[in-house]
């Protein structure tokens, strides 16, 4: 049984979405939703419930040059402050780069949502199923996400356990560092105490495939790492630069 508070939140949220609230009431809802998760959730829920009504709206045509005006306003506002993603040089802004990364992750995530409801079960990370190169990726029931900190790009890796083929993809288009390279590692108790190299990720602009010879059961539970190394790879045989890690998660139950 719902309590009165929940009912009144639902009513306020629904009226907000319907648009029947007066200005002061709308303002109050907008101020409150930022700090009231129940209200925010109710608003999102009513937006979804009522969105179908947009089907009733007939399309209409504004004047033809309206988009030019929109672009002109964008230019004006970008003179005052940088717009998201305006700076695309990766080295110039870690923040921009991380935004690009998030956007890409979202794109993968979106595909995961549209292709597999299972993805929702794995939402601890941004869960992904590679959307491209389906011929290569079709039998890739395991994925790992290498979540970056604010300085490093993230990677997504999928594994076809039958062929033991790993596919690693950079989430950033331009992940190359001057005079450096990325190196992929595997670490598992069965293999030994130190990480073992799985090779360099020399050109991360396109997906990189690696055949690995370890037992599937070992691969399945291993920790994978990607480190930044001098060009040519780690001089010591173990990771020397900053590394990010990931583990494989099944994409099916």
Partner 1 sequence: MNQPLLSEQHTTESLANLLLSVAQGDRHAFSELYQATHRKLFGIVYRILKNQAMSEEVLQEIYLKIWEKASSFDASVASPITWMATIARNRTIDEIRKNQLPDSDEEVDFDLIADDSMAPDDSFTRSQDLLKLEACLDGLESPRAEMIKAAYLDGFSRQELAERFGQPLGTIKTWLHRSIKQLQGCMTL
Footprint on this chain of partner 1 (rule: CB under 8 A)? 7, 10-11, 14-15, 17-23, 26, 44, 47-63, 66-67, 69-71, 73-74, 77, 83-86, 88, 99-100, 102-104, 106-107, 109-111, 113-114, 120
Residue 43 or 159: the one with the smaller Cβ distance to partner 1 is: 43
Least distance to partner 1, CB of residue 61, Å: 6
Residues 142/250, Cβ–Cβ less than 8 Å: yes
Kindly state the smallest distance separating residue 169's Cβ from partner 1, in Å: 16
- 172 close to 90: Cβ distance less than 8 angstroms: yes
Token pair for residue 207?
């997906």
Q: Shortest gap between Cβ of 105 and partner 1 (angstroms)?
A: 10
Q: Is the CB of 77 or the CB of 211 nearer to partner 1?
A: 77
Q: How far apart are CA 67 and CA 71, in angstroms?
A: 6
Q: CB 40 → partner 1: shortest distance, Å?
A: 11
Shortest distance in whole angstroms from residue 93 CB to partner 1: 12
The DSSP code for 38 is H
Question: Which of residues 104 and 169 has its CB atom nearest to partner 1 in the complex?
Answer: 104
Nearer to partner 1, 86 or 221 (CB): 86
Q: Report the residue number, 85 or 216, with the smaller CB distance to partner 1.
A: 85
- The SS3 of residue 18 is helix
Shortest Cβ 114–partner 1 spacing (Å):
6
Contact 185, 227 (CB under 8 A): yes
Q: At closest approach, how far in Å is the CB of 57 from partner 1?
A: 4
Q: How far apart are CA 13 and CA 43, in angstroms?
A: 5
The span from the CA of 188 to the CA of 212, in Å, is 14
Both tokens assigned to 233: 């790879």
Q: Which is nearer to partner 1, 98 or 159 (CB)?
A: 98
Q: Which is nearer to partner 1, 70 or 135 (CB)?
A: 70
Helix (H, G, I), strand (E, B) or coil at 10: helix
């Amino acid at each position: 049984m719902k309590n009165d508070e929940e009912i009144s939140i639902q009513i306020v949220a629904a009226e907000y979405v319907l648009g029947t609230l007066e200005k002061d009431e709308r303002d109050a809802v907008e101020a409150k939703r930022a700090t009231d998760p129940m209200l925010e959730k109710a608003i999102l829920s009513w937006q979804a419930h009522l969105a179908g009504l947009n089907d009733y709206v007939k399309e209409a045509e504004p004047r033809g040059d309206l988009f030019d005006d929109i672009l002109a306003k964008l230019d004006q506002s970008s003179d005052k402050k940088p717009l998201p993603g305006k700076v695309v040089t990766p080295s110039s802004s870690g923040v921009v780069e991380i935004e690009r990364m998030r956007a890409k992750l979202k794109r993968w995530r979106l595909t995961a949502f549209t292709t597999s409801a299972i993805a929702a079960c794995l939402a601890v990370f941004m869960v992904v199923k590679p959307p491209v190169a389906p011929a290569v990726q079709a039998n890739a029931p395991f994925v790992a996400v290498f979540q970056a900190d604010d300085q490093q790009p993230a990677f997504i890796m999928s594994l076809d356990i039958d062929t033991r083929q790993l596919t690693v993809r950079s989430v950033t288009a331009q992940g190359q560092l001057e005079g450096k390279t990325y190196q992929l590692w595997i670490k598992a108790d069965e293999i030994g105490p130190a990480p073992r190299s799985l090779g360099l990720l020399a050109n991360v602009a396109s997906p990189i495939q690696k055949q690995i010879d370890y037992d599937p059961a070992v691969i399945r539970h291993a920790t994978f790492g990607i480190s930044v190394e001098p060009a040519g790879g780690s001089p010591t045989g173990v990771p020397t630069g900053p590394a990010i890690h990931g583990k494989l998660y099944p994409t099916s139950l």
